[in-house]
Amino acid sequence: MDKLEWSALEYEEKDRSTDWFWALGIIVITSSIASIIYGNYFFAALLVISGALLGFFAVKKPETISYELNDKGLKIKNRLYLYENIKSFWVQIDTTGETKFKPTLFIKSERAFIPMLSIPIDYEIADDIHSIMLGKGVVEEEMKEHASSKIMESLGF
């Protein structure tokens, strides 16, 4: 089998207006002040730190991630997910032509922390990925993007 390689951005970059950052600052400051008024200083500090980190990650540019399907498994950057450790997969493509969602490869692994991976793919390689995964004995199971991802996307994250 030849290896199949592709690359994609770590996440979809969004342009955030200065109003978004003002709203973030106002929410963090007012909730921190309320926490201080109620005597919860630790929570106030946690809010300030999390707000600063959120602002930092909002301006960070996404990294280009390289993916590779080879004889051993799925390689993401330098981490290899062996076919034996992949519980199931799903190749999500929009067959209606309405482009409701982007083509995505979902992988359910045996990891305890974040067991489901969502990997962006191109329409052109979707059938190849599907046939390779089935050929390696990986179970096909329908999966969808988690509802929290859709909520975060609607909030501008």
Instruction: Provide the pLDDT for residue 44.
Output: 97
The angle at the Cα of 13, spanning 12 to 17, to the nearest 5 degrees, equals 140
pLDDT of residue 31: 97
Looking at CATH, the fold of the domain delimited by 4-9+63-154 is given as PH-domain like (2.30.29)
Segments in the chain below pLDDT 70: 1-2, 95-100, 148, 152, 154-157
> 133: closest CA among 89, 92, 94?
89
Q: Which residue has the tokens 């200083």?
A: 41
> What pTM does this model have?
0.71
pLDDT of residue 96: 61
Residue 16 carries which DSSP code?
A: -
Q: Kindly give the pairing relationship between strand 4-9 and strand 116-120.
A: unpaired
Return d(Cα 63, Cα 54) in angstroms, integer.
Answer: 17
Task: Write down the pLDDT at residue 53.
Answer: 94
Position 55 scores a pLDDT of: 92
Give the residue extent of every domain in the chain. 4-9+63-154, 18-59
